[in-house]
Structure 1
Amino acid sequence: MFEPGWVWLAGAGPGDPGLLTLHALNGLRQADVVVFDALVDQSILAWVKPGAVTDYAGKRGGKPSPKQRDITLKLIDYAREGKRVLRLKGGDPFVFGRGGEEALGLVEAGVPFRIIPGITAGIGGLAYAGIPATHRDCNQAVTFLTGHDQTGLTPDAINWDGIAKGSPVIVMYMAMKHLDVIAGKLIAGGRSVDEPVGIVCNASLAGQDVLETTLGRCAEEAKAAGIEPPAVVCVGEVVRLRKGLDWLGALSGKVLDSDPLGLRISSRSADAG
């Protein structure tokens, strides 16, 4: 039960509306206010109940965006007005999604909240590209990392040599801007320039684009191909498995059912107000 004055921090998955969890759908149908991110597919907002407020709070690198503190204060203000507030974030709220920061802000303000996990792009997005994050013939470990820190630069806190030597598969979020630097650090740490790399853009959506390349050429080829964020980058032998596991490509242009359970309540466009 979604009580007035509560905030639900929910993950919307990597994009395909069919990957939304039932708990998140329940939140959409009950919420008085939905505060949503830039990477939330607009078709998901068709499930918002009539009369609910949809409030855009998207943050995109290099573009004018609301400050994180202002977003958190907005959640607190809505909750204190007695609203049922759904904070809808792309992927999973606790995987490079700043959900932890928002939850701590709610704790400090004394606002009750619930966490609803979502399918993160580093797993679900790769699966839609036919790349398994793990396969026992390739890896017994996988490392997830972000391509930039709070300064917008390549994270200095990451032990790049350690990851290069110790992690057979590396999955990177928000890495496109600094892909050349990151690839250089991994190569300097001992990775082969010929190691396979998969870059998945707009994962799980109709416009999904996948580039298969190598660590030594990934930055140059991504630029030449016009690959832009949002994208997830996978480094490791599991990328080679895409040759046989590209199930989406095997559908030969068939349209996937993004509403497999018949849950769509209307075909109306979302109210952006």
Structure 2
Amino acid sequence: MTDSLTLPQYDWPTMEPGWVWLCGAGPGDPGLLTLHAVNALQQADVVIYDALVQEAILQWAPQAEHVYAGKRGGKPSAKQRDISLRLVDLAREGKRVLRLKGGDPFVFGRGGEEAQTLIQHGINVRIIPGISAGIGGLAYAGIPVTHRDVNQSVTFVTGHDQTGDTPSSLNWKAIAEGAQVLVIYMGMKHVDRIAGELLTAGRPADEPCAVVCSATTEDQQVLETTLGQMAADIEASGLKPPAILCIGRSVLMRQVLDWQGLIAGETPRNLDPLGRGRPAEQA
């Protein structure tokens, strides 16, 4: 990877001193950054980045100071209040500050809290969305988050709240009954409880599930399982976070849409995994 990129001709916004740009870095693969993100990297004086931001991405900001502010479950990490106020302090010093967060900053990323803190302290902000792992990560695994033969809705859930436990505010019975396809962020630590709640609420034990770890990176691993076996299979596999859990029949589409496997020379396991009985182009 080169240290710089030449952006195409466009009226790119200028990062002014004292501003903070809150930017999504995507799910991992540097190629999934937006051009606005690259523009920001090339202008920043300071990049405050999270644990899931790839080192290769930071190489596009060689002129900037790189400050790690990652949070990983069970490991020492900076407090959210300290991170937010550090952004305020840097902006007040006249720095061009890029807050770089994995995925999309407003999808279970505390981006809303940080942006609100900045605005409350009179700091100018720009929000740059990113590709969320719950969509892009599943796509890299060959799992469409929506498919018209499976679902007309999708439910996104976080596997833990600010206490580190499974969110007590979630109505698992309602989720189990209403979520055609369920995508769970940061759910591996509490997968036994989550699966148990869904099974108790009536989801079938043989419902297809997938666990996508380190999505879109060279270390990506995908486990296909069922809701009843998911917790045991994760433990037996030795897979580690970060991971996205997907529960629903759309997981079956990986049998035909594992495009990375096809590139590697594998053949599709099943050309009609949903059992439609007709070519895909026929409605």
- TM-score computed with the length of structure 1 as normaliser: 0.91
CA distance in 1, matches of 2:235, 2:127: 37
Are residues 1:41 and 2:22 paired?
no
In the alignment, which of 99, 113, 117 is matched to residue 105 of structure 1?
117
CA distance in 2, matches of 1:112, 1:18: 28
Please give the secondary structure, in 2, of the residue aligned with 1:250.
helix
CA-atom RMSD in angstroms = 1.0
Partner of 2:188: 176
Partner of 1:138: 150
Kindly provide the CA deviation profile for residues 2-32 of structure 1, in whole angstroms up to 9, marking residues without a partner as x: 1110000000000000000000100000000
Please give the secondary structure, in 1, of the residue aligned with 2:155.
strand
Kindly provide the CA deviation profile for residues 98-150 of structure 1, in whole angstroms up to 9, marking residues without a partner as x: 00010111011110001000000000000000000000000000000000111
CA distance in 2, matches of 1:56, 1:152: 21
What is the CA-CA distance between 1:75 and the residue it aligns to? 0.4
Q: 1:199 touches 1:233 (CA, 8 Å); kept in 2?
A: yes
CA distance in 1, matches of 2:110, 2:245: 20
Are residues 1:4 and 2:13 paired?
no
In the alignment, which of 54, 74, 78 is matched to residue 66 of structure 1?
78
Partner of 2:207: 195
CA distance in 1, matches of 2:215, 2:161: 22
What is the CA-CA distance between 1:151 and the residue it aligns to? 1.1
Partner of 1:24: 37
Number of equivalences = 253
Partner of 1:90: 102
Kindly provide the CA deviation profile for residues 154-187 of structure 1, in whole angstroms up to 9, marking residues without a partner as x: 1111110001011110000000000000000001
CA distance in 1, matches of 2:242, 2:163: 19
Are residues 1:159 and 2:171 paired?
yes
Q: 1:4 touches 1:84 (CA, 8 Å); kept in 2?
A: yes
Please list every run of 5 or more consecutive structure 1 residues that lacks an aligned counterpart in the other structure: 254-273
Please give the secondary structure, in 1, of the residue aligned with 2:18.
coil
What is the CA-CA distance between 1:49 and the residue it aligns to? 3.8
Please give the secondary structure, in 2, of the residue aligned with 1:221.
helix
CA distance in 2, matches of 1:226, 1:115: 37
Q: 1:201 touches 1:210 (CA, 8 Å); kept in 2?
A: yes
CA distance in 1, matches of 2:70, 2:167: 22
Q: 1:198 touches 1:234 (CA, 8 Å); kept in 2?
A: yes
Are residues 1:228 and 2:244 paired?
no
Equivalent position amino acid for 1:36 in 2: Y
Whose RCO is larger (CA < 8 A, sep 6+)?
A: 1
CA distance in 1, matches of 2:261, 2:85: 43
Partner of 1:241: 253
Equivalence map 1:246-257=2 (5 Å)? 246-252=258-264
Q: 1:93 touches 1:99 (CA, 8 Å); kept in 2?
A: yes
Kindly provide the CA deviation profile for residues 220-243 of structure 1, in whole angstroms up to 9, marking residues without a partner as x: 101110111000000000000000
Over 2 Å off, 4+ runs: none
Please list every run of 5 or more consecutive structure 2 residues that lacks an aligned counterpart in the other structure: 1-13, 266-283
Kindly provide the CA deviation profile for residues 78-105 of structure 1, in whole angstroms up to 9, marking residues without a partner as x: 1000000000000000000000010111
What is the CA-CA distance between 1:251 and the residue it aligns to? 1.3
CA distance in 1, matches of 2:143, 2:249: 10
CA distance in 1, matches of 2:240, 2:181: 22
Partner of 2:138: 126
Please give the secondary structure, in 1, of the residue aligned with 2:59.
helix
- TM-score computed with the length of structure 2 as normaliser: 0.88
**Identity within the alignment, %:** 65
